[in-house]
Chain A
Amino acid sequence: MHLFDLPSGIPWLSLIWISLFVPTVLIAVVPSSQRDLIRWIGVVFSFLSLVLSLLVFFAYDPAQGGFQFVEKLDWIPQLGISYLLGVDGINLPMLVLNGFIIFTGALISWNIDHRLKEYWVLLLLLTTGVYGVFLALDLFLLFVFYELAVLPMYLLIGIWGSTRKEYGAMKLTLFLMTGSVFAIIGMVAIYFGSGLRTFNMIELANTVTFSGDFQRTFFPPLFIGFAVLAGMFPFHTWSPTGHVAAPTAVSMLHAGVLMKLGAYGCLRVAMWLMPYGAQQWLPFFAILTIFNVVYGATIAMAQRDFKFIIGYSSVSHMGLVVMSLAAANEIGLMGAVLQMFAHGIMTGLFFAVVGRMIYERTHTRQLPELGGLGRVMPFAAAMFVIGGLSSMGMPGFAGFWAEFNIFIGVWERYPLVAIIAALSIPITGAYILRATYQVFFGTVKDPSFNALPALTWQEYTGGIILAIILIGVGIYPAILTELIHTGVAPVVQQINGSINIAGF
């Protein structure tokens, strides 16, 4: 949506990630006794980053398409590495998503009291990295930000988490690092295979055609490397453990944004640079994602821990994202990007309700022990229902448009896969309704629930923002679809065109 032009000459994209890096440094020097000051710094700057990404979002011109607001500086010219940022229809929705999640996540983190300063420094460092990944168009730069986003997770989960936190943290870090090592091998191969000795992805995608053998060999490590982070079966086991162990805001960021980094990497790096490899390998990955979608949903159905339900629902929903990436047609990729956005917001809302509003008060997440909370905290119940409806793909919510596009896209390419995956729709409905019923309806299980402290303004604000987006995008999806379409069209063209290239 092109509402206005931003003055040129200002590095808008750099400002976005710098606006979160600055408070990291600021908080590090503020004395830790200034607790509220630290919190305010975190919240204000994350709001600033949200505003900046919204400004860019509304100033982007979809009619023109392509990469806009491009910034380029030589970073390590000896190795053909540059500081190259730019936005198009794929990463712009992700930027806005990250802005919303970090802002609401910062609000939700207000009650963190234990080693507060370190918490905020790590949280902001993590989101700086996430912004960086979405902005970077240089493969090396993207990777640097990528690891910056993964590592703080280890400490955030290990120190502030719950339920087997050290195990969860170690497992998550090792899985993600394994993925990134695969990606590194792919990167080095691309660097030398192209003959250009550059990491500039625009140049690589537009001028280089890798040989068929090369793409067949190096597409899988690159794709799997990122797909580990997207939670693709069989590399998904870190994700529910990690989600459950993490503190609330980190779960929000993690399921909401970090897993999207993986899917984004699959699309932006693997599929964009190696379209022929994508053609060859994607049917295989489509089959793997069936496990994600159906098996993830079924496992979610069997869970008793409220957070595990959300964790496995993430596995299932991210499976849908990777599945529609595998469809690799325009409508499928559009569904994928839309689902990344919708699921990010939705799961953020879920974790805010489950982790912060409920668990921090009741200190239990076991379904049989909860019940009747709808009477005690109607706001939380309403939020959960809104998120749940979106998750089930109810028309009028963002999730509907995403899943609608996904199933059409997948149907077009792999009808059988689409039919099997559609099994997940009733299962999703079932586990969401079951959780809603057991937690929020019925009689109040434990009389002490009646005396739970009231929700704070930070929780209200965070919840309302996320719910409004879910409904807003549900009512007016064109705000995103038009944009996403300009982003995915070139990728699809490249994938379709790669078949016709002589010599394959």
Chain B
Amino acid sequence: MQFEMTDIPRILPEILLLVLGLLVVGSDIFERWATDEAAQRERSHSAAWLTLIGLGMIFIIALLQSGYIPGTQLAEDTPSNFFTNILRNLQSGGPNSSTAVEPILGAFATDHLTMLGRLIFIGAAFLTVLLTFDVRPSAHPAEFYGLLVCSTAGMCIMSGASELILAYLAVELTSIPLYMLAGYFRTDKRSTEAGMKYFLFGAVSSGVLLYGMSLTYGFVASIQAVPVDGNVLTQFSRIGQASNSLLQNDQLITLAVLFVIAGLGYKIAVVPFHGWSPDVYQGAPTPITAFLSTASKAAGFLLLYRLLVTAFPGLTGSASLASDATFTGWTSALALIALLTLIVGNLAALPQTNVKRLLAYSSIAHAGFVLMAMLAWASPQSIDRAIGTSSLIYYLVVYTVTNIGAFGSLAVIGLLTGGDDIKNLNGLARRNLGLAVLFAIFVLSLAGIPPLSGFLAKFYVFMAAWQSGATWLVVIGAITTIISLYYYLRLLRAMFMQSPTTTEPIKTPAAMNLSLVVACLLVVFLGVFPNIVLTLIDQVQLVAGL
């Protein structure tokens, strides 16, 4: 197995992202370097524009490559011209092409899962950049955007990685820039603390993840010592074969799975690996919090999902508490984590007075819901597993859009009112009704109120968990939803019912508005016409190796 020239289109989005990252950093030397605020703002804007245009183009290229827009998927007999040739070359690396079946070098899959992941991450990065336009400028704007783009590239690789070492590298490529971004305001104590804390937790978790991976490797190597056809033993599919050949549960592999889950559990911020997230979310610059809580988490989920279902299909087990089932396998572990996450996340959010912390706990709780989708793998029927996969991806898309909107609104509010405590929201409806309505829509979508997309997302994962036999978890999930409603309504109460300290209207910056409006339209659209995106998501079922 070798790297072919034809593999280049398959990793084109990642290549372009890395090029863009270097370009953003490099182009900074052509700017006017001065320490006054106007000059800093100018430098920061040109870096932001470059990133924005670049990300937008890469998003469009990825979209064309995917063929998801109706009519853009070329048929075999389409006549050649300049445009169709370009499109054909692009799509030769797309998820619908015949070459997409085998992962590149056995390590990087370019299937629909990767493609949807790329679109989520690049889209999220795009919206995040829009949100950063008017935040406090710093002396090194180009680094900021360069790191953001690098991190996005890492996430794309995470969603496609189908080999342990690449997966680990992707996790690091995603995380290291994020450590720096979280601590980006070097003069701000909280931001520095956030960066440091994130880094320390991340480093320990990397260690745990690596340990799990090495145990896995040891396990596979002890079963089949000789590599075949140059395939390495760290490929997910190879691990899958080995773990399937087990006649009974092996303690080594069980330990390995648990370590891997624990290592990635930090990325997706589930209890008990969540300790860092409220502090980091609160301390990081708010647009970065938006990015951290959505794209980074989604990438963690996609990697965890691919790893668990392709490398450990034999250890699925069951999360059912029924008397005729045994509570084993990774689904049972995920079910327990989901239980803790739902309860702790929602209860801890109740007493919060800082909106960022509140949303941090809410996003921990949401991770619990996402885990419920993965439980569907416990059912042996492919139709139920399909519900699990679709609900997982639908939830991630919806959650990403909604949470970017929520943190984005908070970034605007924090910028204009000078703080992000609940009391800063007081009477917002009197000062800027549009902003209050937008924030309310995001919050209600998080709470799962129809017809906003958050409702169907939650309903869908409930269905997935129900079919896995984890009825008990659905009941817990439903009860915690009510608890969560209380703290979401507190935000609405502050915005609409409390009287403001001043009725002076506030004006929001245009770039941020654009980002919020786009996110809001998506939240409503995904909820009212979910069939369109579900059709795309259902294609993930066709993935090789899944």
Q: A residues near B, CB below 8 A?
A: 74-79, 118, 140, 143-144, 147-148, 151, 154-155, 158-159, 166, 170, 173-174, 177-178, 181-182, 184-185, 188-189, 191-192
Interface residues of B in 46-69 (CB under 8 A from A): none
Q: Which residues of A contact B429 (CB under 8 A)?
A: 118
Q: Which residues of B contact A140 (CB under 8 A)?
A: 459
Known: A78-B535, A173-B489, A177-B482. 16 other contacts (CB 8 A): A143-B450, A155-B492, A155-B496, A158-B493, A166-B497, A170-B489, A170-B493, A173-B485, A174-B482, A174-B486, A177-B481, A182-B478, A185-B478, A188-B459, A191-B463, A192-B463
- Is the CB–CB distance between A192 and B534 below 8 Å? no
The answer to the question of B390 belonging to the interface, with a C-beta cut-off of 8 Å to chain A, is: yes
A184 to B465, CA, bound (A): 14
- Is the CB–CB distance between A148 and B482 below 8 Å? no
Question: Which applies to chain B's interface (DSSP): helix, strand, loop or mixed?
Answer: helix
The answer to the question of B407 belonging to the interface, with a C-beta cut-off of 8 Å to chain A, is: no
Interface residues of B in 383-438 (CB under 8 A from A): 390, 429, 433
A279 to B188, CA, bound (A): 66
- Is the CB–CB distance between A148 and B451 below 8 Å? yes
**A184: min CB distance to chain B, Å:** 6
A79 to B464, CA, bound (A): 12
Q: Which residues of A contact B496 (CB under 8 A)?
A: 118, 155, 158-159
List 21 A-B residue pairs with CB atoms under 8 Å apart, sorted by A's residue number: A77-B531, A78-B531, A78-B534, A78-B538, A79-B463, A79-B534, A118-B429, A118-B433, A118-B496, A140-B459, A143-B450, A147-B449, A148-B451, A159-B496, A170-B486, A170-B493, A177-B481, A181-B482, A188-B466, A189-B466, A192-B467
Return the chain A residue nearest B463 by Cβ.
A188
* Total A-B contacts with CB atoms under 8 angstroms apart: 75
A158 to B440, CA, bound (A): 15
Q: Which residues of B contact A155 (CB under 8 A)?
A: 492, 496-497
Q: Which residues of B contact A191 (CB under 8 A)?
A: 463
Q: Which residues of B contact A151 (CB under 8 A)?
A: 444, 449
- B479-514 CB mask vs A (1 if < 8 Å, else 0) is 101100110010011001100000000000000000
A184 to B451, CA, bound (A): 15
- Is the CB–CB distance between A192 and B466 below 8 Å? yes
Q: Which residues of B contact A159 (CB under 8 A)?
A: 496-497
Return the chain A residue nearest B460 by Cβ.
A79
Q: Which residues of B contact A154 (CB under 8 A)?
A: 489, 492
Q: Which residues of B contact A76 (CB under 8 A)?
A: 456, 530-531, 534
Given contacts A147-B450, A170-B489, contact A185 B497 (CB under 8 A): no
The answer to the question of B303 belonging to the interface, with a C-beta cut-off of 8 Å to chain A, is: no
- Is the CB–CB distance between A144 and B444 below 8 Å? no
Q: Which residues of A contact B479 (CB under 8 A)?
A: 181
- Is the CB–CB distance between B497 and A158 below 8 Å? yes
A108 to B492, CA, bound (A): 27
Q: Which residues of B contact A192 (CB under 8 A)?
A: 463, 466-467
Return the chain A residue nearest B478 by Cβ.
A181
Return the chain B residue nearest A183 by Cβ.
B478
A191 to B462, CA, bound (A): 12
**A213: min CB distance to chain B, Å:** 13
**B493: min CB distance to chain A, Å:** 6
